Amino acid sequence: MALKGVQPYGPSFWEVIVAFRRFLSSQAHEELQQHAVNLYVQAGKQEPDAVWLLLTSTVSDTEPMMAFLKKHKWEIDHNVQFILQTLE
C-alpha cells in the first residue's frame, strides 16, 4: 500500500487524495477502483478528517467554501460510502 507507514505531509497528502478521487468512479476498471479504495482507507487511518472532508465534499452539497470539490459525474458514491463505513 502506497501510504502505509508514510508520515503524511500536509500539502502533498492533500494533493494525492484530491487527485486520486476519479479512480473511485464506477466507470473505472474494477481493479483500479479497489486500489483507490485501499489508498483512501489507508489515508483515512492517518488523516480521517481530511479524507472525510474531501470525499463528502465530492459527493454531496456541503459548505459553499468546499463546493469546488463536488464531482457528481464521477459516480463515486458507492466507493465513498464503503470507505467512510470502513473508517468508522
Give 55's pLDDT tier (boundaries 50, 70, 90): very high
**Which three cell numbers mark 72?**
457528481
In this prediction the pTM is 0.82
Q: Give every CB contact of residue 21 below 8 A, 6+ residues apart in sequence.
A: 54, 55, 58, 71, 74, 76
Average of per-residue pLDDT across 58-83: 82
Task: Say what the pLDDT of residue 36 is.
Answer: 96
pLDDT at 69 > cutoff 70: yes
**Which three cell numbers mark 80?**
465513498
**Alpha helices, H only, 1-88:** 10-19, 30-46, 48-59, 77-87
The domains of the chain are located at 11-87
